[in-house]
Amino acid sequence: QLRIDVHSIQWKRVLDIESRFLRHIVVGLGGKAGGIPYESGFEITTASEIAAIHALALDLMDLKRRMGEITVAYNVDGEPVKARDLKAEGAMAILMKEAVKPNLVQTIEHTPAFIHGGPFANIAHGCPSLAAIKLALKLADYVVVEPGFGADLGLEKFCDIACRVGGLKPDLVVLVATAKALKRHGGVRRRDLKTPNPEAVERGLPILGKEIENVKLFGLLPVVCINRFPFDAEEELDVILDYCGERGVPAAVSEVAARGGKGGVDLAKEVLHQLERRRADFRFLYPLDLPVEEKIRTIATKAYGVSDIELLPEARRAVRRIRRLGLEGMPINMAKTSLSLTDDERRKGLPSEGYVLRVTDLRPMTGAGFIVAYCGEINTMPALPTHPAAERMDIDEEGRITGLI
Amino acid sequence: QLRIDVHSIQWKRVLDIESRFLRHIVVGLGGKAGGIPYESGFEITTASEIAAIHALALDLMDLKRRMGEITVAYNVDGEPVKARDLKAEGAMAILMKEAVKPNLVQTIEHTPAFIHGGPFANIAHGCPSLAAIKLALKLADYVVVEPGFGADLGLEKFCDIACRVGGLKPDLVVLVATAKALKRHGGVRRRDLKTPNPEAVERGLPILGKEIENVKLFGLLPVVCINRFPFDAEEELDVILDYCGERGVPAAVSEVAARGGKGGVDLAKEVLHQLERRRADFRFLYPLDLPVEEKIRTIATKAYGVSDIELLPEARRAVRRIRRLGLEGMPINMAKTSLSLTDDERRKGLPSEGYVLRVTDLRPMTGAGFIVAYCGEINTMPALPTHPAAERMDIDEEGRITGLI
Amino acid sequence: QLRIDVHSIQWKRVLDIESRFLRHIVVGLGGKAGGIPYESGFEITTASEIAAIHALALDLMDLKRRMGEITVAYNVDGEPVKARDLKAEGAMAILMKEAVKPNLVQTIEHTPAFIHGGPFANIAHGCPSLAAIKLALKLADYVVVEPGFGADLGLEKFCDIACRVGGLKPDLVVLVATAKALKRHGGVRRRDLKTPNPEAVERGLPILGKEIENVKLFGLLPVVCINRFPFDAEEELDVILDYCGERGVPAAVSEVAARGGKGGVDLAKEVLHQLERRRADFRFLYPLDLPVEEKIRTIATKAYGVSDIELLPEARRAVRRIRRLGLEGMPINMAKTSLSLTDDERRKGLPSEGYVLRVTDLRPMTGAGFIVAYCGEINTMPALPTHPAAERMDIDEEGRITGLI
Amino acid sequence: QLRIDVHSIQWKRVLDIESRFLRHIVVGLGGKAGGIPYESGFEITTASEIAAIHALALDLMDLKRRMGEITVAYNVDGEPVKARDLKAEGAMAILMKEAVKPNLVQTIEHTPAFIHGGPFANIAHGCPSLAAIKLALKLADYVVVEPGFGADLGLEKFCDIACRVGGLKPDLVVLVATAKALKRHGGVRRRDLKTPNPEAVERGLPILGKEIENVKLFGLLPVVCINRFPFDAEEELDVILDYCGERGVPAAVSEVAARGGKGGVDLAKEVLHQLERRRADFRFLYPLDLPVEEKIRTIATKAYGVSDIELLPEARRAVRRIRRLGLEGMPINMAKTSLSLTDDERRKGLPSEGYVLRVTDLRPMTGAGFIVAYCGEINTMPALPTHPAAERMDIDEEGRITGLI
């Protein structure tokens, strides 16, 4: 009766298991008793649109409404079939009724924290739940939010999607830098990352510069946090500190990993100092009423620093469908590798002059309320290595677990 | 390196979701990145061999050992590939470390009960966990265990599998009878079951007689519990009581559903009375050293009352493999419909003279420690109806849930 | 627009290639450009209903009409979708316009013969084309027809299907017997068949008796042709001759294979002698107005000598559909192994007392005009052996071919 | 034993049937009896490498050798598995032994012609067989060869592949132009092509100029043949004649379609005149010892006029494999749309400034002896339209066929 087009089923099943074998499957086989055959696949649970909705919903009713708005498929006339057409949103909301509540945990030093919401940043906006952030804002003077990935991805999505939906106005951005990551962008191979190499750190600095620039694009105050590793050389950290100093960007070394809360006091003081001294002037990177392609171009050229974007044929068809369905006013959620400013994870450092980012496909997430723009090769079902970590795990009769890390 | 034969992969993935679309699938598509193509399917979680192991394991180490013994596949030489060959049992045991502990709940009248273990009785032994039963035996004077389905299936599996593994010796069996079920076996159509019809109850009684006989086959004391429904007519219940009376089988009407614990006092007294008066002489239906086919024949002819069994070609091949692998000493777990004493769910009442039960396939469950004998058409992945119950479920902003029942 | 049910597509593609890999396939994958996914398979060309139609059509227009009547699929309401609903019969007839004409060949002794029509006897009626037989009847005094397989299959199908459609009245049946085949039915293993063993021939004779009986069932005159192999022992042939002699059945040894036409003179004389002396009284085995199940039972009990038949659930459903569609008046085409009188190719000799033949499925071939009854495991796509004959074939630069036989 | 990697099976089955449903299939299903599952597809017969080999083989032994060299798959170590490893080339050669002989036909005016060899120009070199051309060269003073598609594709492949393999030296190229095609490249929509529009012809002329340039790239003499259609306007043809006249390129109007051989006399005279007057200086577009990527770049920039090429990741991987296998010395066979000079069939006229042609994949055809370079979206299994031509075809009882055209 819903006249669903088997080629337009958007909804994939999810599992909290990583398996390349479930990426591409044909379901519905075995004759009549097996349903109708169609090509499908599994995604990991966090890649589900429900994970994104969970992190954007303001309360249970908003969650239910958004889940009802999920586009499950298109019918043979190209019109969306939504979860509410399947009368599924009530049952879904029942399943999620506890999950919608922020859950409070504490660090081993008893600092309270919410760990709530984890949409897969590869494909969703990758930020903690708005419900948790809003609750935290009522409970504390300062609230620190950790979006997934760097200032090209996590920061952009937090500002343009989460803050827009939640009406949030952030003030300051703590940019985490490590000598190791800068060396990687400076051309050092993975296995040599623990060897001191201040020159390579130097070569990697432009990417830190880009991230600082991104913070300013949103009208926010940057503070660079240099996350110290035990194998970092003093000269390497100095290179970073000097770079920030020359540009007037506040910076501090954090030793939280080694020394706990004490190791972060310098950074915290610097953050408070900046918040007292200066005022942020938060703004979005793009207005919602730009055409879809322009919104993507703005993000790509401004936040990633590439020269232009190109929509491949599939993506162009998707833009036409989005326009036809009147969905072009939603914000953009970039699905892009986090290992490069470009869509090619092997390209380190700043994008080369003239680099064109390729958008392979677009998909309106009508429940989450954004349009995912797929760039390069993004995978929503990870594969296990030849020897998965599980092989080394064990538990003895006293219940002692080994091999987890 | 394991040289797995793609046609001999025994292990299916499971999900706690009912979907005909996942019964028969082809996984591993999409080229090299998608793994190796093979035909597979999903089962519901309770149909997993792990659910059976969980209900038979005596402690965490036994659970781990048994999970390591699961036959995941056969290699190209026909030798079993076990979960421990994949080094999976440690990680599996970690995941199950809390699940292995019996969980105590209480009724609304505060009677304690363990709800622990639920292997799918269609395909596994369908009894609560041995761990819970054994713990209960230490805590209470009388322990009531509820195996899935009737005295042909649940009772037989409890006695021949669970009691054998756990060294248990039951005393008495409460056989639950309803006028409704007897009318169904007496030829009444589903929609007419609420209309009083003592003659139909009468016609259905032979099946109760068979169940009573089965209890005695195991050397146990039967007490018939007549579970009263609001629409039952007094004459209908009398028919059952008379039948038991004539045969000297103790019986009592239970009104627990309507009146709570009070409604079960008569039955409880009768049970205690019998336990004081008589002694059970528990025995198994078959010894483990019979050939596989003979064990199945014994169960089918004695517990179901059919004339004989026939092994279809696939089952004959399986018997040869079981013998070759030295696994013929395990008990048999019958996978058979619960809606008939035969393998054909439409046949009501006692099996007709000369009825031959067909065994379509056999599968050694080397972790659980039994051989599943598939009879008729048994499905391990249920399908949803055209209008699943979920369509009627909802939750409002106060969190009030409707439509669950 | 045809509202075809993807599960009810009856029509399979065919290829003149043997490959197990094409038996079960999923087609229509690869997204929208690949069509609609469904489960299918390839059959070898002779297994196509078109091959059967070709051998039954009286002329091109009859061929076209019959091809238009082929049931390609069923729609979602269970009504047949025919080739003419796809407007395919015109184009099909164009492709077949030359193939419909009988083609005359000659033996190396210049005896004329038609080789025309070869429907796969496993699944179709396995007789040469009616067009060729009828043309031959106009051109010669005696016409010899060779239907596929023995007097249980080929003879029955020739009489009950081909003769019925073509209005033919045969007179006499030449039953070909070999010492080798009788030894096989007498329990000799394949590798020992060339060793003289008159006792085994003796043990195999009841099957020859059954074939003789079958000839008489159709009111026809039997002549046994003993096809001599170079390794046959004289005593073995004598055993057969004696058996026929005792029963008054004419018999002659044929040495055509070794000596050409000369080797068949005795047999030919015997055939002519019988035709002069006696008159056949041809009759069908069953009338068309029997219920489908009765027609099958008649064939199975009379022509095969089994005790009864059993329709498995799929076959019962098919009977109901055939009745609903008003197709029960068509003759039956048995799809059964030719290696046994039963449906189990390993059972040699006469069927054992009480043997029940299993009918697994039925399919109305509305173009050919018969109902195929599938018994046991019949395959319409043969598989190649590990080392196919092709491996030994070669051709040299002079065009000399080796390895064909 | 061959240790074939199921993901690296190169060989697809072919059928002389167009069906989108066979483009992407999964074969080998149905358990053990169905082989090993893998993803595959069918191609139309002419897309088979055998069609290309047939058109390049000099004799039966060369054909056999080349078929034995076909790369059927790669093994798990990445080494090629060839048809001769399957011992298939002998049987294949037997099947092809008649097909290798050129077949002579005649026009309705009794002009002799060979019609022999038709490799699918989309994916193969698209030229008649070398065997036929060489035989024709022995029999006639002038031999006209018709390669598939325009001077960007057919001419280039004929010169760089067929002439190279066959040692041929062509003299002159008859470039066929139509007003209709030039109007299409001049921006006229398909439905308006029969309306006179000399301005549009004018706008399309640069593509004729490019084709003329291509002829000269190979050192050959161009003669433009204007193939007249009944609906062509005189002014349209004049536009073309003027264009050629201005550039000193000989041209003639051909009316062969309407008037038979007489209609081609002018053209034939012009061709003979040019052959007497001038001498060709035939040369290849690229030497075989260029790196693979450079060979492709040379063809694309010189013959198509694009600015550059780009190898997508799959193609880059393929280049590495080709190099590893030592196959980089083979000529290139471009698989590209014939509807545009670019890889995008919608782009008409000359490629725009800066256009980069995308090479998506490469495949070494080790039997045919060339490397196929796939550009854009090339399909080797055509699809039928919603209403295939077959629907309109019919044959009557006199054998009269209608609806073929």
Q: Mean pLDDT over all residues of chain A? A: 94
| In contact, D359 and D374? CB cutoff 8 Å | yes
C-alpha to C-alpha distances, B330 to B165, B284, B291, B372, nearest whole angstrom: 11, 13, 10, 10
> In 10 A of CB D271, how many CB atoms?
22
Report pLDDT for D170: 97
- Give C149-158 pLDDT, tens digit per residue: 888 999 999 9
* Most confident residue range from A256-260, B278-282, B339-343, C288-292: C288-292
Residue B310 pairs in a beta bridge with: B358
> In 10 A of CB C124, how many CB atoms?
31
Q: Does A279 touch chain C (CB under 8 A)?
A: no
Q: Does the structure show a pLDDT above 80 at D10?
A: yes
Reported ipTM: 0.87
Q: Does the structure show a pLDDT above 80 at D1?
A: no
Residue A139 lies in a domain: yes
Residue A7 distance to chain C (closest CA, Å): 6
- Give A201-220 pLDDT, tens digit per residue: 999 999 999 999 999 999 99
Report pLDDT for C102: 95
CB contacts, 8 Å: A399 with chain B: 60, 97
Residue D286 lies in a domain: no
- Give D121-169 pLDDT, tens digit per residue: 878 899 999 999 999 999 999 999 999 888 899 999 999 999 999 999 9
Domain boundary among B38, B63, B95: B95
- Give A286-337 pLDDT, tens digit per residue: 999 999 999 999 999 999 999 999 998 889 999 999 999 999 999 999 999 9
Report pLDDT for D397: 92
* D391 Cα distance to chain centroid: 29
Cβ neighbours for A114, distance < 8 A, ≥ 6 positions apart: A102, A103, A104, A105, A128, A129, A132, A133, A135, A136
User: Pairing state of beta strands C308-311 and C356-365?
Assistant: parallel
Q: Smallest Cβ distance to B393: which of A25, A39, A94? A: A94
Q: Does C29 touch chain A (CB under 8 A)?
A: yes
Inspect the interface and report whether the beta carbons of C64 and D395 lie closer than 8 Å.
yes
Q: Is there a single domain that holds both residue B130 and residue B251?
A: yes
Percent of chain A at pLDDT above 90?
84
| In contact, D143 and D137? CB cutoff 8 Å | yes
Dmax (CA) for chain B in angstroms is 71
Question: How many Å apart are CA C241 and CA D43, to the nearest integer?
Answer: 57
Residue D262 lies in a domain: yes
> In 10 A of CB D386, how many CB atoms?
6
D34-37 long-range Cβ contacts below 8 angstroms, 24+ apart:
D34/C20, D34/C21, D34/C23, D34/C24, D35/C19, D35/C20, D35/C21, D35/C23, D36/B6, D36/C21, D36/D6, D37/B6, D37/B26, D37/B28, D37/B37, D37/B38, D37/B39, D37/D6
> In 10 A of CB B387, how many CB atoms?
9
Q: Does B390 touch chain A (CB under 8 A)?
A: yes
Mean pLDDT is lowest, of A398-402, C31-35, D213-217, D240-244, for C31-35
Q: Is there a single domain that holds both residue A310 and residue A163?
A: no
Domain boundary among D225, D247, D277: D277
Report pLDDT for D119: 85
Residue B43 distance to chain D (closest CA, Å): 18
Residue A37 distance to chain C (closest CA, Å): 6
Residue B55 distance to chain D (closest CA, Å): 32
Residue C400 lies in a domain: no
Domain boundary among B76, B95, B114: B95
User: Which residue is it, tokens 């080999």?
Assistant: D53
Q: Is there a single domain that holds both residue D114 and residue D247?
A: yes
Question: What range defines the domain where residue C268 resides?
Answer: 104-277
Cβ neighbours for C320, distance < 8 A, ≥ 6 positions apart: none
- Give C239-298 pLDDT, tens digit per residue: 999 999 999 999 999 999 999 999 999 999 999 999 999 999 999 999 999 999 999 999
Q: Does B261 touch chain A (CB under 8 A)?
A: no
Of C123 and C253, the structure prediction assigns the larger pLDDT to: C253
CB contacts, 8 Å: A393 with chain B: 90-91, 94
Q: Is there a single domain that holds both residue D114 and residue D91?
A: no
E strands, A166-256, where?
172-177, 221-227, 251-254
Question: How many Å apart are CA C268 and CA C263, to the nearest integer?
Answer: 10
And the tokens for A302? 């401004």
And the tokens for C103? 């083609």
Q: Is there a single domain that holds both residue B90 and residue B132?
A: no
Q: Is there a single domain that holds both residue C265 and residue C303?
A: no
Cβ neighbours for A30, distance < 8 A, ≥ 6 positions apart: B23, B24, B41, C39
Angle, CA D231 vertex, CA D226 and CA D237 arms, to 5°? 35
Q: Smallest Cβ distance to A90: which of B22, B36, B394? A: B394
Q: Is there a single domain that holds both residue B234 and residue B255?
A: yes
User: Which residue is it, tokens 């790669």?
Assistant: D74
Chain A residues 86-145 with CB within 8 Å of chain C: none
Question: How many Å apart are CA C226 and CA D107, to the nearest integer?
Answer: 57
| In contact, C145 and C123? CB cutoff 8 Å | no
Residue A134 lies in a domain: yes
Question: How many Å apart are CA D201 and CA D236, to the nearest integer?
Answer: 6
Q: Smallest Cβ distance to D37: which of B6, B30, B31? A: B6
Helix (H, G, I), strand (E, B) or coil at B348: coil
- Give C214-223 pLDDT, tens digit per residue: 999 999 999 9
> In 10 A of CB A308, how many CB atoms?
11
> In 10 A of CB C15, how many CB atoms?
16
Helix (H, G, I), strand (E, B) or coil at B62: helix
User: Pairing state of beta strands B394-395 and B401-402?
Assistant: antiparallel
Inspect the interface and report whether the beta carbons of D39 and B32 lie closer than 8 Å.
no
Residue A57 lies in a domain: yes
| Mean pLDDT, residues A56-75 | 96
Q: Does B230 touch chain A (CB under 8 A)?
A: no
Please compute Rg for chain B using Cα positions: 23
Question: How many Å apart are CA B390 and CA B403, to the nearest integer?
Answer: 8
Q: Does D278 touch chain C (CB under 8 A)?
A: no
Q: What is the CATH number of the domain that holds B159?
A: 3.40.50.300
Question: How many Å apart are CA A300 and CA A290, to the nearest integer?
Answer: 14
**Secondary structure of chain C as H, E, C letters:** CCCECHHHCCCCEEECCCCHHHCCEEECCCCHHHCCCEEECEEEHHHCHHHHHHHHCCCHHHHHHHHHCCEEEEECCCCEEEHHHHCCHHHHHHHHCCCCCCCEEECCCCCEEECCCCCCCCCCCCCCCHHHHHHHHHHCCCCCCCCCCCCCCHHHHHHHHHHHHHCCCCCEEEEEECHHHHHHHCCCCHHHCCCCCHHHHHHHHHHHHHHHHHHHHCCCEEEEEEECCCCCCHHHHHHHHHHHHHHCCCEEEECHHHHHHHHHHHHHHHHHHHHHHCCCCCCCCCCCCCCHHHHHHHHHHHHHCCCEEEECHHHHHHHHHHHHCCCCCCCEEEECCCCCCCCCCCCCCCCCCCCEEEEEEEEEECCCCEEEEEECCCCCCCCCCCCCHHHHCEECCCCCEECCC
Q: Does the structure show a pLDDT above 80 at B1?
A: no
Question: How many Å apart are CA B308 and CA A109, to the nearest integer?
Answer: 71
| Mean pLDDT, residues C167-184 | 96
| In contact, A54 and A393? CB cutoff 8 Å | no
Q: B interface mutation test: which of A22, A63, A95 has the most B CBs within 10 A?
A: A22
Beta-carbon contacts below 8 Å between C and D: 130
Residue B402 lies in a domain: no
Q: Is there a single domain that holds both residue D90 and residue D110?
A: no
Mean pLDDT is lowest, of A24-28, C267-271, D377-381, for D377-381
Q: What band does B33 get if pLDDT is binned at 50, 70 and 90?
A: confident
Percent of chain C at pLDDT above 90?
84
Q: Is there a single domain that holds both residue D230 and residue D110?
A: yes
Domains in chain C: how many in total?
3
Q: Does D37 touch chain B (CB under 8 A)?
A: yes
Report pLDDT for C235: 95
Helix (H, G, I), strand (E, B) or coil at D271: helix
First to last CA, chain A: 51
Report pLDDT for C386: 85
Q: Is there a single domain that holds both residue A186 and residue A109?
A: yes
Q: Is there a single domain that holds both residue A166 and residue A201?
A: yes
Q: Is there a single domain that holds both residue B223 and residue B322?
A: no
| In contact, C214 and C261? CB cutoff 8 Å | no
Report pLDDT for A155: 96
Q: Does the structure show a pLDDT above 90 at C306?
A: yes
Residue C390 lies in a domain: no
Residue A356 distance to chain C (closest CA, Å): 28
Q: What is the CATH number of the domain that holds A325?
A: 3.10.410.10
Report pLDDT for C249: 97
And the tokens for C338? 């030719």
Report pLDDT for A122: 79
| Mean pLDDT, residues C343-358 | 89
Q: What is the CATH number of the domain that holds D38?
A: 3.30.1510.10
